[in-house]
Amino acid sequence: MAMNGNSQKVISPSKLAHIVLRTNNFAKMKWYYETFFGGHSVYANEGMAFITYDDEHHRIALLSNPSLGNNTGSTSGLEHIAFTFDSLEDLCTAYKQRKALGITPGWCVNHGPTTSMYYKDPDGNQIETQFDNFETAEEATAMMQTPAFHENALGADFDPEGFVAESRLVRVLVTSIAKRQDVGPRDLDDLGALREEMNASQTGPTVGTSA
């Protein structure tokens, strides 16, 4: 992109700071995001909340608007937001902790570059939690340029219970556990079917409705 009529590249930001979500389901969403990330609200009132899980002042903000319609997923917009864990063990531990609270993923998949678990919040927004399968970004980028990734950019699904058990028993073989299986071609039609399955099957927890 040009700046002031020349070819100078626009300066890139240093980081992605936060996301902001509008909701007609404020109390449940506030509980969900505080619980999901093991975080807390730096500030909250009856209409907004600023939630963090690290040293940033806030990572997720919620704005309440009871007049909003429900999220049907039938319009253009954001597909999902993703968060990375430092280790495969942390990804699996967080899965078990959330499951104990009634929060379970609707889709678990090894994309190749990442091992990922997808959840839906009470409004139907998708959250990806992931572990980087490669030690460097260069290795992940190289994998994404292979014929195998071109044939199947979605990845290979996996059962989270079996995967968590395997990762616990064979922690030293992280590269083996995280290696993507060859399941043949997959495309966006498969993603649409997976999205419909998630919409039909994932109901989420029935607790945590207090503001």
Any alpha helices (H) in the chain, and if so which ranges? 26-36, 88-100, 137-143, 147-151, 160-169, 174-177, 188-201
Residue 27: strand, helix, or coil: helix
For residue 153, give both structure tokens.
């950019």
Contact 133, 179 (CB under 8 A): yes
Q: Which residues does 111 contact at the CB level (< 8 Å), separation at least 6?
A: 153, 154, 155, 180
Nearest C-alpha neighbor of 98 from the set 33, 35, 168 = 35
DSSP characters over 142-160: HHTTSHHHHHBSS-EE--H
Q: Is 199 helix (H, G, I), strand (E, B) or coil?
A: helix
* pLDDT score of 85: 96
Question: Contact at 8 Å (CB) between 109 and 91?
Answer: no
Angle in degrees, CA 107, 108, 109, rounded to 5: 115
Residue pair 110/158 in contact (Cβ under 8 Å)? The answer is yes
pTM of this structure: 0.82
- On the 0-12 / 13-18 / 19+ scale of CB atoms within 10 A, 81 is middle
> What are the structural domains, with CATH classification, of the chain?
15-66 (3.10.180.10), 79-205 (3.10.180)
Cβ proximity of 117 and 105 under 8 Å: yes
Q: pLDDT tens digits, the chain, 211 residues: what are they?
A: 445 566 799 999 999 999 999 999 999 999 999 999 999 999 999 999 999 999 999 999 999 999 999 988 888 899 999 999 999 889 999 999 999 999 999 999 999 999 999 999 999 999 999 999 998 999 999 999 999 899 998 999 999 998 887 766 544 445 555 667 777 777 777 776 777 777 676 555 644 544 4
Q: How far is the C-alpha of 163 from the C-alpha of 111, rounded, in Å?
A: 15
Rounded Cα–Cα distance for residues 83 and 16 (Å): 11
